[in-house]
Each structure stands twice: as structure tokens, then as C-alpha cells.
């Protein structure tokens, strides 16, 4: 199946990120078969390091997809990064403002156009001391219920050992495994006939993050907490 067409800025990201993911750690990509090769898909991930998007981006590209990230609008204000984000079709998020809903509408448009949209439902790098997911925002539930597209959970592990944002530590050596694993699409059929309200959005969000947490537990060979 043909890959999605990539513009010059996406091409630049490919040239930079592919070798970077090999340089920083021994990448292990698992469960790629769960990412549709074409058509809309919402990818929901845990967030443990600022390196996560680099690995997730390459992960999806290996499946022939161009990821559209929901990312903080502050990045668009950076001279070079902002131009790349805009040119690559990424989706700015304006949290805590009257424009916050526009972020979801941008994601909905991308899904309606058959694109792969990637979201970190926690909204920030986890502050859990053991790197388990935090309580997530309900934007992922709104997208899942409104767009009715496959929602695929993805877990990262290993990036936090390379770059620990809160600890201000960058440790590329000794090289470590970086695992990105996708699971099967989440079933929301039992929610479809219910009115969309606060409790339903929380239930759907918790189901998404439960699937992500279970994947992460498998990757870590630990009991989720």
C-alpha cells in the first residue's frame, strides 16, 4: 500500500529523526500491525519524556503514516520549531483558554481527512515517581466519541532513562532499549448509545488510559499501579 505523501518539512524530520532514534537508544517497535495502513486513526500514548514524540513519529512512519501531533501551542512561537510544526501539519493545543476547543476541531478535521492523529491524553510528562500514567484529560474521549475512528493505545518505555525532564538529566550512555508498543484498537461499542456528558467522557478516558497502562505493564513486566 502506498505511503502518505510527505512534504519537504516532513522529509526533513525523517532525515533527522530516523538516525536520532538509533543514536539515542536501541529502538524496539512492536505491534505495528495494529496501526491501520490507511484511513483515520487516533493514537493515544503515555508520556514519560520529551523524546517520546521522536520515537512515536518514526514508529508511525514505519507503518507508512504521517503523524499529526496535538502539541502545545507554545512550540509555534519558537522561530524554527514553529515553522516546522506548522509546515508539517501539526495541531496546536491552547490549554486553559477560550480557543481550547479549536484544538479538538483541528484534530477532528484531520481525522475526517483520513489522517493519523496522535495524542498524549495526560497533557504533560507524567509526574508519577514510577512513571505510570497520570489521570488524563477528557479530550481523547471527545475525539473518540465524535469521530468514531479506531483508537489505538501505544506505550513508550526507555525514553525517560535517556532524558529525564524533571530531573534535568540527559544520559545517552550506556545505551538503553527504547520500546514503543501498540495494542489492538479499543472497543467503545457499549458507550455509543449513551448521551455524551461528563461521566461518560471520564469513563471513556479511563478506558483509553487503562489500555495504555496495561500495555505499559506488559512492556515493563510489572504489575500496573
CATH label of the domain that carries residue 96: 3.40.1130.10
In terms of residue numbers, what domain contains 132? 30-219
Region of 66 please: left (phi>0), alpha (psi -120 to 50) or beta: beta
End-to-end CA distance of the chain: 40
Question: What are the cell numbers at 61?
Answer: 512512519
pLDDT tens per residue across all 225 residues of the chain: 445 666 666 777 788 889 999 999 999 999 999 999 999 999 999 999 999 999 999 999 999 999 998 876 655 555 555 555 555 567 777 665 555 566 688 899 999 999 999 999 999 999 999 999 999 999 999 999 998 899 999 999 999 999 999 999 999 999 999 999 999 999 999 998 899 999 999 999 999 999 999 999 999 999 987
Assigned domain for 10 exists: no
How many domains does the chain divide into? 1
Assigned domain for 58 exists: yes
Assigned domain for 139 exists: yes
Assigned domain for 127 exists: yes
Amino acid at each position: 500500500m502506498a505511503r502518505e505523501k510527505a512534504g519537504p518539512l516532513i522529509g526533513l524530520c525523517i532525515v533527522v529523526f530516523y538516525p536520532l532514534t538509533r543514536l539515542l537508544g536501541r529502538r524496539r517497535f512492536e505491534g505495528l500491525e495494529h496501526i491501520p495502513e490507511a484511513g483515520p486513526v487516533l493514537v493515544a500514548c503515555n508520556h514519560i519524556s520529551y523524546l517520546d514524540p521522536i520515537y512515536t513519529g518514526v514508529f508511525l512512519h514505519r507503518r507508512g503514516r504521517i503523524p499529526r501531533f496535538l502539541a502545545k501551542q507554545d512550540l509555534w512561537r519558537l522561530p524554527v520549531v514553529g515553522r516546522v510544526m506548522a509546515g508539517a501539519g501539526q495541531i496546536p493545543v491552547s490549554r486553559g483558554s477560550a480557543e481550547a476547543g479549536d484544538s479538538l476541531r483541528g484534530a477532528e478535521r484531520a481525522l475526517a481527512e483520513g489522517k493519523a492523529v496522535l495524542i498524549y491524553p495526560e497533557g504533560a510528562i507524567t509526574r508519577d515517581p514510577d512513571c505510570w500514567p497520570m489521570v488524563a484529560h477528557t479530550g481523547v474521549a471527545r475525539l473518540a466519541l465524535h469521530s468514531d475512528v479506531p483508537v489505538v493505545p501505544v506505550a513508550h518505555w526507555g525514553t525517560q532513562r535517556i532524558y529525564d525532564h524533571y530531573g534535568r538529566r540527559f544520559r545517552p550512555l550506556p545505551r538503553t532499549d527504547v520500546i514503543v508498543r501498540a495494542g489492538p484498537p479499543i472497543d467503545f461499542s457499549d458507550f455509543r448509545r449513551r448521551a455524551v456528558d461528563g461521566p461518560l467522557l471520564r469513563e471513556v478516558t479511563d478506558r483509553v488510559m487503562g489500555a495504555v497502562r496495561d500495555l505499559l505493564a506488559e512492556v515493563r513486566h510489572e504489575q500496573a499501579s
